């Protein structure tokens, strides 16, 4: 149970004072009845309307976003757009947070969730959640590079765990890379270690989830029940 005014404020309907005024005016109904007490205890699962329109009161949400280039993976930034600006404000209000980060110029699958525990587990080094990236680099890749990735690359401050490098049949400057770590600039640094510079980087998969082909850059959707179960299953 949660106070009605607190629930509506958490859902970014308005400030606590504003939603209090809406409630007192009788603009809000809970399970079909007008409620004029802002402090009324309300179930999070109740059907709540404002001016006759049913509100989406879910406080737990999980999102798949096609991150476009040029956008920061951050909760907020004074100058640059962030991934949170691509979602309606309610997602920020309820604490939906990116799972890890993609560089500003990296595109592709970014998950966001209100579940802090799930977020933490998906990023924990011991969990070995695979991430698959499509990379283009500045010069052709060869079997030597495949071997070097498979052996684990020394990146100076740490040794990257063995990774799978799968060179595209039609273009030796393109490859799929599967890693299960998520260190800062990891994939770019792995290519630097074998004298290649990443020109584009796109994440196709995170654990059991693949970026929905129906999404374009900047578009998002909520995870299905099955996707969420698969994600939870991957880190159980
Ligand atoms: N590795 C990188 O170097 N950058 C990313 O954005 C993700 C993985």
Task: Read off the pLDDT of residues 175-233 as tens digits, 9 standing for 90 and up.
Answer: 999 999 988 999 999 999 999 999 999 999 999 999 999 999 999 999 999 999 999 99
- Please choose, from the candidates 115, 109, 80, the residue with its C-alpha nearest in 3D space to the C-alpha of residue 97: 115
Strands (E), the chain: 2-3, 28-30, 33-34, 41-42, 48-50, 53-54, 62-67, 97-98, 107-113, 131-137, 164-168, 171-179, 198-206, 209-210, 220-222
Q: Give the ligand 1 atom nearest the CA of 203.
A: 7
How far, in Å, CA of 175 to CA of 16, rounded? 51
How far, in Å, CA of 151 to CA of 85, rounded? 40
Which residues have CB under 6 Å of ligand 1?
Answer: 102-103, 106, 185-188, 201
Mean pLDDT to the nearest integer, 107-129:
94
Q: How confident is the model at residue 125 (pLDDT cuts 50, 70, 90)?
A: confident
Kindly give the residue spans of alpha helices, DSSP state H, lying in the chain. Answer: 4-10, 16-24, 89-93, 116-123, 143-151, 186-193, 225-234
pTM comes to 0.93
Annotated catalytic residues are 103
pLDDT digits (tens, 9 = 90+) for 139-188: 999 999 999 999 999 999 989 999 999 999 999 999 999 999 988 999 99
How far, in Å, CA of 130 to CA of 34, rounded? 49
User: Of the residues 108, 111, 133, which should be mutated to test ligand 1's pocket, given the most ligand atoms within 8 Å of the CB?
Assistant: 133
Mean pLDDT to the nearest integer, 80-85:
96
Query: Measured in angstroms, how far is the CA atom of residue 39 from the centroid of ligand 1?
Result: 46
Question: What local confidence, expressed as pLDDT, does residue 128 receive?
Answer: 86
Question: What local confidence, expressed as pLDDT, does residue 31 receive?
Answer: 97
**Domains (ranges, CATH) in the chain?**
2-54 (3.10.290.10), 62-123+213-234 (3.30.70.580), 130-206 (3.30.70.1560)
Nearest CA to ligand 1 atom 4: 185
How far, in Å, CA of 154 to CA of 194, rounded? 10
Q: Give the ligand 1 atom nearest the CA of 102.
A: 6
Read off the tokens for 188: 């770019």
pLDDT digits (tens, 9 = 90+) for 1-26: 999 999 999 999 999 999 999 999 99
């Amino acid at each position: 149970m949660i106070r009605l005014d607190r629930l509506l404020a958490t859902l970014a309907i308005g400030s606590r004072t504003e939603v209090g005024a809406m409630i007192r005016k009788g603009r809000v109904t809970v399970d079909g009845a007008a409620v004029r007490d802002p402090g009324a205890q309300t179930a999070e699962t109740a059907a709540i309307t404002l001016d006759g329109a049913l509100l989406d009161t879910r406080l737990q949400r999980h999102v798949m976003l096609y991150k476009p280039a040029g956008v920061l993976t951050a909760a907020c930034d004074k100058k640059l757009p962030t991934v949170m600006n691509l979602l309606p404000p309610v997602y920020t209000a309820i604490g939906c947070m990116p799972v890890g980060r993609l560089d500003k110029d990296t595109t592709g699958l970014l998950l966001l969730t209100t579940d802090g525990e799930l977020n933490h587990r998906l990023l924990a080094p011991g969990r070995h959640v695979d991430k698959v990236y499509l990379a283009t680099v500045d010069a052709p890749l060869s079997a030597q590079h495949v071997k070097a990735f498979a052996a684990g690359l020394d990146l100076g401050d740490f040794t990257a765990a063995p990774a799978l490098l799968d060179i595209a049949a039609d273009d030796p400057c393109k490859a799929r890379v599967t890693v299960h770590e998520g260190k800062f600039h990891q994939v770019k640094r792995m290519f630097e270690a074998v004298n290649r510079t990443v020109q584009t980087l796109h994440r196709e998969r995170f654990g059991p989830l693949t970026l929905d082909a129906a999404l374009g850059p900047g578009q998002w959707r909520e995870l299905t029940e099955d996707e969420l179960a698969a994600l939870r299953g991957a880190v159980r």
